[in-house]
Every structure is written in structure tokens, then in C-alpha cells.
Amino acid sequence: MLSLNRASFHEDMVRLERLPTKDEYRRVRHLVLQEPSETAPSDDELATVFSECPHLETVVLSAVPATTDRSIVLLAANAINLQGIDLSGCYQVTDVGVFELGAKSLPLQWILLNGLVGLTDPCITSLAKTCSRLTVMELCDLPLLSALSVRDIFTFSRKLRTLRLARCPLLTDKAFPAVSVSRSSTPTSTPYPPGYEKPLPPRPITWLDELPPLVLRHTADNLRILDLSFLNGITDAAIEGIVSHAPKIQHLRLAGCKQLSDRTLESICKLGEHLDVLVLAHVANITDRGVVNLARACTNLRCIDVGFCRNLTDMSVFCLAELRGIRRLSLVRVHKLTDIAVFALAEHALELERLNLSYCDRLTLEATHLLLKRLVRLQNLSVTGIPSVIRRRGVRRFSDPPPEDYDADQQAAYHVFNGEGVSGLRKFLNKEEGRLRESEKRNIPFSARSDDGLDLY
């Protein structure tokens, strides 16, 4: 009888997207408050709930910016089975609350702390050293996060599958594993001529520069997702060390890392068939050579973004088009692209589902039409800012409406087609092609129309 009551108790546990009532305090297991609303709960209400809900396992508070350390301290003290917490955007939470999460020996498996601008290294180090079960850690937009705590993450959090560190301005190469160098490969000191005075070593600019390279004796075989977007302080050396330490990364985001070059792509090639998603938008120094080598080495790439990489040409697209599993491709503002690249996509990349060609202003409407005819699985096509598309009457009605905050010029250039819009555009251009051929056959001057009619006049 006792076992039956226990089973019914667990079946009665609930998932709520609002604050629980008193009758639900001991039954709520998952509290998810992630939808913004005008009546967001106050910190006092959260404190009351957390002090009375002992069975909470997951808590999402990304829609409650009023959350403070008091509520988190009460949650850590009472929810002894807490496995996951999302505090993204709760900017009033500081080291005090996060320290409590690490101090209570909770079975935490995932923690999201994006945008908590007051967090510093000690609390992150505490999590890395005490929460041994962590598989997901997100630490984006933390202006005070430095190499000290990130080094501890790589040292102690050995079960991590997802690590996000985007837009943390203090992070440099010192934060990441370095490639170990054997003593036999280190150059020997060169003898100096008599009377030569050896120059003094350069003086470190900051204390971070004095940190030795992080050489680890283990590998992060579990790490699959790594986001380092917009870390302007990292160089090719950091990526080389990361790839040697985590050789099975599947999803790698390096958007906006301005110092990276083709040497980074050479390191990424070592990931081989493991790599599935790669984001290189705004990495302006990469060239066709690096992308060609990447496409040949990482044959299982399914999604790649090389937007704003202005050194790339049609050659890069030729190789990317031949990837058998390519599903998503972004080529925003790759100005050197021509119709020949589009023809290659239409010929080889038949599995494409999402394609972004915005602001590739050399492309013609005929090339776009060929894409639509050949890529029957295409569900999203972005051709914003392409003059040949903007000038064509009748095309805009198939596009999604532009965002309201766009100015007049941006709204006029906006052309993004989704789902039925892609099908409608394909049918419209097919009809126009039929009219053109019929006009040529009957020797009648052809004029473009904005409707779907088949009449030649």
C-alpha cells in the first residue's frame, strides 16, 4: 500500500509556468518562468515559494529580472534535488546567490548564468570545483569573467557537454588549454658573441599575462558544444589548444573573433567527421584556402555560417556545395559571390533547407529562380538587399513582413521567404518563365507582370 501511495505521489508532481498555489507547493517539480509578462512575480513572491517547495528539480527564471540573492539562497537551502537552473537576465543576482548553489552540494546538471553582470571569478570557480555533475554551463555576457575561472572550468568540469562563453570581453588565450610542447622540441639557447648584452624579457602588461600556459593531462571527450562568439582577445593559438583538448566538438561558434585566420581553420580540420555546425560570421581574415581545406576534412558539416567574410569567393561555395549533408548555409555580405556560386549550389546542394544570400548584390533573379527550381526542400530563403530581387515587381508579396523597427530603406530591402512564401515565389517565377517562352515562341514582346496571370498582354 505504501508503494502505491509513493507512486501516485510522484505521478501527481507538476510542471508550472506560473507561481504555484499553496496546494501545489509540495507537488511542483518544474517551475518554468521564461515568457515575459506585465505581471512578472516579485522577489518577495519568489522567496515565499522557494521556502515552501522542497521537491523542485528545475527552475527557469529568465522572465523574472527582479530575482535577487535572497530567493536563490532560499532555493538552494530547500530544493535539495535541484538539477537545473536558468538565471539568465536576472542581473540582480550576484556572487552571494551563486556561491550558495555551489555550497549546498546540489545535484546540479545544468546552469545558465547569462547576463549576470555582477558575477566574478570566485563563484564560477566554486561551481566548477563543487558541481561535478555539470553537463551544461552558459556564462555569456559576463564582463567581469576572466581567464582564472575559465581555466578552472576546463580543469575540473570534466563532464561538460555544452559550454558557452560568448561576449566575455576579458577572455584571452590564457583562459583556454594550450598545446603541450615536449622538451625535445623546444629550441636550445643560442650562444651570444662576446660582449653581447642579452636583452631583458618583455614586461607583462597585466597579471593575466603572467599566467603560464594551461597544459592539461586529460582530454574533454564529452565536450560537444562550444560557443566563443565575439571574444576579441583570442587568437589562432587558443583554437589550436581547444581542438587538441576537446577532439570531439560537434558545434563550434566563433562569430566575431576578429583575430582568427586560416590557421584556425587548419586546427578545426582536426575535428574531422565530428564537426556538425560551424559559425564563422565576421571572421574577416579567413580565405578560400582555409574554407576549401575545411570542406575536405569535415565532411559531415550540416550547418555553416561564413557571413561577412569578404575575402571569400565562388571557390569556397563550390566546395561547401559538395558537402553531402549540408542543410543550412549563410553567405551574408560575401560580396565577391556571383551567379556561378549559386549554380553550384543548385547543382550539388540538393538537401539545403535554409539559405541566406542577403546583400550578395551581384546575384541575378535568374540564379535565384534556378535555386528555387532545384532545391525542392528549401524552407527559408533570405535575399534581402539584392538589387535584382528588390526591383522585380510582384515578388515582395511572398516575403515575411519586415520588423517594425526597420527604417524605410531597410523595409524596402527586406526579402525573407519562409515555408509557403518559398513555394509561392517558386510558382510565380515558374509562371513568368512560361510566359517568357510563350512570348518568344509567338514572337510577342515580353513584359514582366506583378500578378499570377498567364496572359501575354
Give the pLDDT score at 148.
94
Whether the predicted pLDDT of 187 surpasses 60: no
CATH number for the domain spanning 68: value is 3.80.10.10
Over residues 227-241, the pLDDT tens digits come to 999 999 999 999 999
Residues 81-93 have a mean pLDDT of 96
Indicate whether 54 belongs to any domain. Answer: yes
Over residues 271-326, the pLDDT tens digits come to 999 999 999 999 999 999 999 999 999 999 999 999 999 999 999 999 999 999 99
Give the pLDDT score at 393.
86
Decide: 253 and 279 in contact? Cβ < 8 Å.
Answer: yes
- Roughly how many angstroms between the first and final C-alpha of the chain, as a whole number? 84
Domain span at residue 94 reads: 12-131
Indicate whether 411 belongs to any domain. Answer: no
Whether the predicted pLDDT of 336 surpasses 50: yes
The C-alpha cell of 275 is what?
Answer: 564537426
Indicate whether 67 belongs to any domain. Answer: yes
Count: domains in the chain: 1
Beta bridge partners of 264: none
Q: Which amino acid is at 382?
A: S
CA torsion 244→245→251→257, rounded to 10°? -70
Q: What is the pTM of this model?
A: 0.89
Decide: 232 and 259 in contact? Cβ < 8 Å.
Answer: yes
Q: How far apart are CA 104 and CA 127, in angstroms?
A: 11
Indicate whether 71 belongs to any domain. Answer: yes
Q: How far apart are CA 426 and CA 43, in angstroms?
A: 52
Indicate whether 224 belongs to any domain. Answer: no
Give the pLDDT score at 442.
63
Indicate whether 58 belongs to any domain. Answer: yes
Indicate whether 165 belongs to any domain. Answer: no
Give the pLDDT score at 448.
66
pLDDT tier for residue 4 given thresholds of 50, 70 and 90:
very low
Indicate whether 454 belongs to any domain. Answer: no
Q: How far apart are CA 336 and CA 314, in angstroms?
A: 7
What number of CA atoms fall less than 13 Å from residue 445's CA on the CB side?
A: 1
The sign of the CA dihedral 171, 175, 179, 183 is positive
- What percent of the chain is modeled with pLDDT above 90? 78
